[in-house]
Structure 1
Amino acid sequence: MHMLARSELILGGQRSGKSRRAENLAIEWLAASPERQAVLVATAHVGDDEMQQRIVQHQLDRARRVPRLAAVEESLYLPAALKLHSTDNTLLIVDCLTLWLVNWLMPPPGVPAPAQGFHHTVEQLVHTLHGLPGPVVLVSNEIGLGVVPMGKEVRHYVDELGRLNQTMADACERLTLMVAGQALFVKGAPA
């Protein structure tokens, strides 16, 4: 059993095992006491049929693997959602910061762009993380290991995600990099 950090950022590429690690942490957390709860804060917004299918598959897989994991959706106002759902007996899992950033840069149709800026909200998120009564696991993609992308918008997104990941890595007690399903502890390795 791993010692759960107060806050952990799990980074990795697509299908690297990020969400599975977060689910395994939830399984361990829930097994320790019947009083404990775990809540997934899902940031994905259904933009097309393929994304809808991915979300449904994630929901089915998660329900099978971690039946006691509750889920809420929050595509923009993450600090408020964390404050609302955090208790000393509740593990929060945010899956994922990658899509949360997409929602800020390109708000879903019909959703007004938030009045406060993204960087202000990231500052709020860091402040919120340090004040929550219960543990938090953040999941994000590491997409900055490849070539410099073509297109101004894509480069802007990659740069913003890199900055977001750095900020969250600094704010979290533990940083875990997932590679082919294996956890590499970059910061705050469990004892």
Structure 2
Amino acid sequence: MSKTHTLVLGGIRSGKTGLAEQLAGQGSDCVVYVATATAGDDEMADRIHRHQQSRPQQWGLAEEPISLGALLARMGREDEPPMLLVDCMSLWLNNLLFAGDEVFSCERADFLAAMEHYPGEIVIVSNEVGLGTIGMDPLTRRFCDELGWLNQALAQRCERVVMSVAGLPMVLKGRLPEQL
């Protein structure tokens, strides 16, 4: 199995998670869905439940809202590292911003390093914020800046980058599998 790291970008309800799930499902029989979301309210709990119901039953699940680098390092030491589907960077970044600047800096650096060295395939989902409006408050502006910079760092490290627009994949880097 070749090591392909894929970044799937898109706006809200653009089909990015569905596309990422297709890519992960075609890439390996052993997929672990890495969820970064936390259920802070009923509406978010419902969203998480809908995502869980749409995934194949045989996929594994790892819930990690902060320490993605440590999770990737741990899973990368397995004899046959699983295909990882990490969903999503915007929720993870939100968690990091509220964890404080020191945690943010360390965890971001750890994740990028672990991602580069992960010996298996990874599909990473992230929101594209560069096409929207500028936030009115400092926290929103920082979130958009940080997610934009993170997406750039991920795109540099990934062999394939795909933008999902209205459920359609637009390849920005690399190639899609023939059967997609």
1:56 pairs, out of 49, 58, 65, with 49
| Runs of 4+ in structure 1 over 6 Å off | none
> What TM-score, normalized to structure 2?
0.89
User: Is the CA contact 2:37–2:65 (under 8 Å) kept in the aligned structure 1?
Assistant: yes
Instruction: Give the aligned length.
Output: 175
CA distance in 2, matches of 1:140, 1:5: 20
Q: Structure 1 stretch 66-75 or stretch 84-93: which is displaced more? A: 84-93
Structure 1: stretches of 5+ with no match in the other structure = 31-35, 108-112
* SS at 1:41 equivalent: strand
1:143-183 alpha-carbon deviations (Å, 9 max, x no partner) = 22112111111111111111111111111111111101111
Aligned to 2:66: 76
CA distance in 2, matches of 1:5, 1:186: 18
1:84-133 alpha-carbon deviations (Å, 9 max, x no partner) = 223545100100011000101124xxxxx58x432332222222122112
Q: Does 1:178 align with 2:164?
A: yes
Give the percent of matched residue pairs that are identical in Structure 1 and Structure 2.
41
Report the residue type matching 1:104 in the other structure: L
Query: Structure 2 vs 1, CA of residues 5 and 11 (structure 1 numbering), >3 Å: closer, same or farther?
Result: farther
Report the residue type matching 1:26 in the other structure: A
- C-alpha displacement of 1:69: 1.3
Aligned to 1:91: 83
CA distance in 1, matches of 2:131, 2:2: 28
1:7 pairs, out of 5, 8, 17, with 5
CA distance in 1, matches of 2:88, 2:62: 13
Q: Does 1:105 align with 2:115?
A: no
Q: Structure 1 stretch 123-132 or stretch 95-104: which is displaced more? A: 123-132
Report the residue type matching 1:105 in the other structure: L
- C-alpha displacement of 1:5: 5.8
1:21-50 alpha-carbon deviations (Å, 9 max, x no partner) = 1111222124xxxxx410011000111111
* SS at 1:117 equivalent: helix
Aligned to 2:16: 18
Q: Counterparts of 1:106-185 in structure 2 under 5 Å?
A: 106-107=98-99, 116-185=102-171
> What TM-score, normalized to structure 1?
0.84
* SS at 1:106 equivalent: helix
Structure 2: stretches of 5+ with no match in the other structure = none
